[in-house]
Each structure stands twice: as structure tokens, then as C-alpha cells.
Structure 1
Amino acid sequence: MSSRLGKIGFTFTLIAAALTGISACSKSSDAPAVSTEIVRVDGSSTVFPITEAIAEEFQRESGIRVTVGISGTGGGFKKFCRGEVDITQASRPILDKEIAACKEAGIEYVELPVAYDALTVVINPDNTFIQSLSVEELKAMWQPSAQDQIKSWNQVNPAWPDKPLKLFGAGSDSGTFDYFTEAIVGKAKSSRGDFTASEDDNVVVQGVAGDVNALGYFGFAYYEENKNMVKAVPIRRAENADAVMPSEKSVMDGSYQPLSRPLFLYVKAAVIKDKPEAKAFVDFYLDNATDLVKEVKFIPLPQQELDAVVAHWQAGKVGTGFGGVPEVGIKIQELLKRI
């Protein structure tokens, strides 16, 4: 057992006893028996590194197989509401149309915030004229009316050079796209269409790293992994406000707004009674989230917030605290009280 996860000494013998056909690890073996049961997870590419890391530890300790797909937040909800997966990971809350699809299919769910992210705006390291960006400047670049109109940096700010503005961002099925447009433009999915869009954050990294006139955005963990290739831009909430860099501290103290966001798991409520191996995986996820969220360079929930999420899960409270629309700047404990 890895020393990095002090809490993983989570009693798998008790889990095994609860699972039909799954035996506990014997004293004569370092590995548990392999289960024929599978926990199926899909959804956000942003949340994927967290879930993948936790799934690897869970499988190693329990012998229960976990498959983790990357269909994007929107794609994950489609599979979830069709009953194809037990859990979907999401980088924004469930939307009206997804709520309706799950309701029609008779699928109830538990909404679980599991970490924080700081959407990070990045430029090429050789860009010397951008010291910070305001929300209004970002809006001028990304709003729908900018399409085919705002093509150079000096059109956004006359102090900047007359150089082509090359934009890279998340694909339209991504929760990152939804959250960024909600936070910057004021309406989810409201964006110019003439930019390089991809569900793969590596495409954005490579695009910005390869063009001195490029700008893009993605989650904080991808910036941390690629900070030798791209440069993060401090963000000003208003024109005269202080510029704030994305970091764990700025997310926790509330100063990195409006680009701080919670990340979620949505768990089919039926698994609590009907699929103990999936319930065991979620228990394990929450029990070990703090250590592994840090390890994959995301921002863990403060302990008080995590305790509230665990209590929410243990109570099996179904539904969403968002009412089907995205919301910027929400506090976790306030969110959980709404359900």
C-alpha cells in the first residue's frame, strides 16, 4: 500500500463482505481477488485525471475493476441519463435538458463536488505585451459578435500590437467550454465559433506553445503539467481590479474570480442499494480525494466542505442544487443546503 495515502487503509474486508461474489484479500496474497463486477465511469476530461488516479488505487486495493471514459461533460451526461454508466464526472453542473433526460429515464442521482479547479488563460511564453487580462478584454475576444470581426490583438486593446489573434479553447461538448463562456461572456455556450476547439487539452497546449500570437484556456492541472510550454495570465475581475494568478491560495481565498469552479461526480442513486461495488468506489473516492486531488495538481476541498459532501453522500440526497443552470462563484456548503 502506498504511503502517500494514509487513509487508504480503508477496510476492504468490509467492502468485500458487502459485495456479492467478491472475496476479500487473503493473508497469503498481496493482491485481492479480481472481481467480475465493473464500475463504469465516464464524462469530463478535466476531472478524468482525478478519477483515474483514484480508480487505480481502488482497483489495486479491492480487485474491483473501474472503467473511466472521456466523453466530455456533455457526452458523459448523455451516457449517464441513458443508464450506460454508474457515475459521470463533470466540470460544470447538470443542465435542464440533462435533468429532463434523466427524469424521463427514471434515473435519480446524487450530486457530489469533489475538487476545485481554476480555469487558466494561457499565452505563448514569448508574448511580451500581455501582463494581465480583464474579464472585459476576454469577453471582447470570445463573445459571438467577435466572430470574423476581432482578428487582431489591437482590436481588443489599441495598446497591443497589430498581430493576428489566434484562439484555442475547449470543444462545445466540454463543461470547460460551458463554464468559461458563462463566466466570461455571461451565457453558457455563447461564443464565437472561429477558433480552434478541441476536447483534448493537449491540442490547446500545443497550439498556444507553437504560436506567439495565440491565447487559450483549460484547467489548472493542465497548466501545471505544461508550464514550461505556456504562460499563465493574471486575471482582473474588473478593469481597475488587481490582477490575480490562478493558484490554490487564490481559489481558496476567493480572489480568483470568476474562473474558479467546483468539479463534480454525479452518482446514480440506485447504486447505493443495488450496486455495492459502485458505492464502495464512491466511498473510497471521497475518503482519499484530498491526497490524490493534490497529487494530480488539482485543488482539494477544504476539510469542512469535504465533510459536508461526505455527509450529503451518506444521506443519499438526490437532485441538484443548481436548478439546471450554471452558476459562477457558488460555495459548496451553500450548494448542498439547497438540496
Structure 2
Amino acid sequence: MANEPTAGRAGGLSRRRVLLGVAGTTLSALAGCIARGRETDLEGEILMDGSNTVLPHGAVVSEEFQWRNNRVQIPVRGSGTGAGFQRFCDGETDVQNASRRIFDDGGDDEGALCEANGIEYVELQTALDGIAVYVNPENDWCDCLTTDELERIWESGSDIDTWSDVRDEWPDEELELYGRDPASGTFDYFTEEITGEVGNIRSDYSASADTNVIVRGVRGDRYALGFGGAGYYYENEDDLELVAVDDGDACIEPTRSSIEDGSYEPLTRPLYTYFRADALEREEVRAFAQFYFEEIDGPATEADVVESGETLSWTQWGARRVGFYGISDERLQEEAQTLRHAIAEVLE
């Protein structure tokens, strides 16, 4: 590992298999793995924490950056979006990965904590994820659900107990439900988009912080239904079936094309990277932030996540490489411009 950058290895690695096993712990081994990379004038330590879900994306981008700047160390933690924002707004970290936007509605929330501590930040959308709806492979009746049906199934106080309660022609068998727990950004996004309010969800489903538990639950019960990251389906295609979602136009499944072109709605969600504004005063932090939006080079251009004739930035490449999806080129330019403005303000 020490002798070559990540770009030189296999391009389509599972984020769960490679990196999620270390979620919540510092990726201290990363620095040792890339110690023989390129030496530049940049040096220092950049502290990154936040979303357990987004951790693999931040880790793979930071690994590439450290290979090119081997005197910069970027320990990466995944203590969770909420816990990460607490540290970020206390000024303990420089970079925050987030599976949702910062809570900032003027109340006693994360935005208020940042403000109270004098912490300003720049919010950057750096990847996309699709939240998928799964059923058991033996389920031969449900291949598409409307957003109205999903709302009826999942909302607080739901009167849906059996599949036939959803559609009369479906089996009169109890619907077993599996999903993410309330500490998850996936939970926040799913409930807001499907039931209209964060946290609006029935209480009698099997909630888990681990999507693998959801996968096992759905795999083991013909009458189960669950939700979680789309990447987990593609890692368990023999054990799950996708349910397409109809938002009023057509039944759409979460795929790279439907997520990256925005047609998988409303369950395509943006993933974020936040940089503390005062941290951008440091040259190594500025360079790392800008690296997200620079064009890939070297062996990365030949990776199997890069389609023929396609030009990707490191953030787009990194997203695909760990099982997420790349933001559009238009969004990429917008976010890069946001970063340029933030850096200009800091350096005034």
C-alpha cells in the first residue's frame, strides 16, 4: 500500500467492505500506508470527522491528497453526522462530513452552536447517495411503490399492517418493516421526503444503525420491506430485490444514471463536506479543499468507475469508487465557485 496511491488499485471498491469496518475510529493506519508518496512544501494535520456514511468518501479523497503531499496528515473519524457537528462547531475539527445539511433553523441547534462559538463554515455538496427500498427475492408482487403508498406505510400512526392493506390484490400477510434508526442521516432524509417531517415514522418497525442488519432482516423474511443506502443493494443483489419508486411520473429504480441525472426522486440525497472558514487560512487546508474539485490524473483515469470519454474530479471519482454517485458537472462548478469565494473572503 505504501508504494502506490489508491488510484493505482482497483477502481470499484465496496465502501462497506473496505472502510465502514473502521467507522467511528481514527484511520491512523492511513498515514503509514502513504508515507512514501510525493513530498511537497505542504505540511500539517487536518482533522476530519462526521458522518459514518460519508466517511469512506472523505477517506479515499484524503488518501489521494496525502499521496501527493506526504507531509500532510488527515486522520479521519466517523463518529456520526450529529456528533461530528458538535465537535466541528466547538472548533475541534477542520472538516466535517455530513449525510445531511447542518441543522440551522434559528433554534437551539447546530447552527446556533457554531454561531455561539464564532465558527463560520463553507458548505459543499460533494457526492450523491440513493436511498433504496428493498424486498425479499421471493416477493413476486411488489416491484414498484408510489410515494403516497410509502407514506401510508411508514408514517406515524400508520394503519398499514399487511401487504393487502397497501393494495387489495397483494397477500394478506403481515408486513415486516426494517429501516435506519433515528440517529442516522438516512433516517432524517427518508422521513422528511416520504412522510413530510424529520422523525415522522411509525414506532413498530425494526430500527438499526447498521444497514447490514436491515439487509439480513429483509433477506430472511418473504414479507419484509426495508430502506437503506442503494449501495447495499448492489453489494447484496442475490439477497434483495429493488422496489422502484413512482413520484408521479414513472417507476424508477436507483441506478448510477437515475441518481446522477436526478430522475430517481425523491430519494436521491446530497452528501456534504463542511470546511471551517478559519481553517482555510492554512495553506494545507485550502489545498485539500480545492483538491476535491480538481481533475483526476494518473491511474485513476483508467479506473472502472470512469466511463469512456468522461472527465471526473476527485470528489466525483471518490464518490463512485466507494459506492456513492458523482455530483453533476454543473453542480461541481457551482460548489467550486462557492469554495473560491469562501477562500477569497478568508484571505482578504
Q: Into which bin does the TM-score normalised by the smaller protein fall? A: 0.7 to 0.9
In structure 1, the partner of 2:152 is 140
In structure 1, the partner of 2:163 is 153
Matching of residues 73-222 of structure 1 within 5 Å:
73-96=81-104, 97-146=109-158, 149-222=159-232
TM-score (ref. length: structure 1): 0.78
Amino acid at match of 1:289: T
Do the aligned residues in 2 keep the contact of 1:72 with 1:199 (CA within 8 Å)? no
C-alpha displacement of 1:72 = 2.5
Amino acid at match of 2:96: T
C-alpha displacement of 1:3 = 8.9
Do the aligned residues in 2 keep the contact of 1:45 with 1:199 (CA within 8 Å)? no
C-alpha displacement of 1:61 = 2.9
Amino acid at match of 2:293: L
C-alpha displacement of 1:255 = 2.2
TM-score (ref. length: structure 2): 0.76
Amino acid at match of 1:139: E
Do the aligned residues in 2 keep the contact of 1:110 with 1:317 (CA within 8 Å)? no
When residues 199 and 42 of structure 1 are mapped into structure 2, their CA distance, relative to the original with a 3 A threshold, is farther
Write the deviation string for residues 80-112 of structure 1: whole angstroms up to 9, x where unpaired. 112222111112211122111111111111000
Do the aligned residues in 2 keep the contact of 1:45 with 1:200 (CA within 8 Å)? no
Do the aligned residues in 2 keep the contact of 1:75 with 1:173 (CA within 8 Å)? no
Matching of residues 253-264 of structure 1 within 5 Å:
253-264=261-272
Paired with 1:228 and 1:116, the residues of 2 have a C-alpha distance of 24
Paired with 1:251 and 1:33, the residues of 2 have a C-alpha distance of 37
When residues 251 and 68 of structure 1 are mapped into structure 2, their CA distance, relative to the original with a 3 A threshold, is same
**Is 1:232 the counterpart of 2:239 in the alignment?**
no
SS of the residue 1:189 aligns to: coil
SS of the residue 2:74 aligns to: strand
When residues 254 and 100 of structure 1 are mapped into structure 2, their CA distance, relative to the original with a 3 A threshold, is same
Point out where structure 2 has 5 or more consecutive residues left out of the alignment: 9-35, 295-313
* Pairwise CA RMSD: 2.4
Do the aligned residues in 2 keep the contact of 1:92 with 1:264 (CA within 8 Å)? yes
When residues 125 and 285 of structure 1 are mapped into structure 2, their CA distance, relative to the original with a 3 A threshold, is same
Point out where structure 1 has 5 or more consecutive residues left out of the alignment: 6-28, 319-339
SS of the residue 2:140 aligns to: coil
Amino acid at match of 2:58: T
Do the aligned residues in 2 keep the contact of 1:32 with 1:62 (CA within 8 Å)? yes
> Of 280, 296, 308, which aligns to 2:322?
296
**Is 1:56 the counterpart of 2:44 in the alignment?**
no
Paired with 1:137 and 1:165, the residues of 2 have a C-alpha distance of 13
C-alpha displacement of 1:278 = 2.8
When residues 30 and 155 of structure 1 are mapped into structure 2, their CA distance, relative to the original with a 3 A threshold, is closer
When residues 212 and 151 of structure 1 are mapped into structure 2, their CA distance, relative to the original with a 3 A threshold, is same
C-alpha displacement of 1:190 = 1.2
**Is 1:251 the counterpart of 2:259 in the alignment?**
yes
Amino acid at match of 1:85: T
**Is 1:309 the counterpart of 2:335 in the alignment?**
yes
Amino acid at match of 2:291: F
When residues 304 and 132 of structure 1 are mapped into structure 2, their CA distance, relative to the original with a 3 A threshold, is same
Paired with 1:258 and 1:142, the residues of 2 have a C-alpha distance of 15
Paired with 1:283 and 1:174, the residues of 2 have a C-alpha distance of 28
Do the aligned residues in 1 keep the contact of 2:89 with 2:113 (CA within 8 Å)? yes
State which drifts further: 80-89 or 58-67: 58-67
C-alpha displacement of 1:211 = 2.1
Do the aligned residues in 1 keep the contact of 2:97 with 2:272 (CA within 8 Å)? yes
When residues 59 and 205 of structure 1 are mapped into structure 2, their CA distance, relative to the original with a 3 A threshold, is farther
C-alpha displacement of 1:4 = 4.3
C-alpha displacement of 1:312 = 0.9
When residues 223 and 34 of structure 1 are mapped into structure 2, their CA distance, relative to the original with a 3 A threshold, is farther
Q: How many residues align?
A: 290
Paired with 1:168 and 1:277, the residues of 2 have a C-alpha distance of 43
C-alpha displacement of 1:31 = 5.2
Amino acid at match of 1:292: G
Paired with 1:186 and 1:53, the residues of 2 have a C-alpha distance of 34
Paired with 2:210 and 2:293, the residues of 1 have a C-alpha distance of 26
When residues 33 and 232 of structure 1 are mapped into structure 2, their CA distance, relative to the original with a 3 A threshold, is same
State which drifts further: 85-94 or 35-44: 35-44
Paired with 1:317 and 1:278, the residues of 2 have a C-alpha distance of 10
State which drifts further: 89-98 or 70-79: 70-79
Do the aligned residues in 2 keep the contact of 1:115 with 1:264 (CA within 8 Å)? yes
In structure 1, the partner of 2:22 is none
In structure 2, the partner of 1:321 is none
When residues 131 and 45 of structure 1 are mapped into structure 2, their CA distance, relative to the original with a 3 A threshold, is same
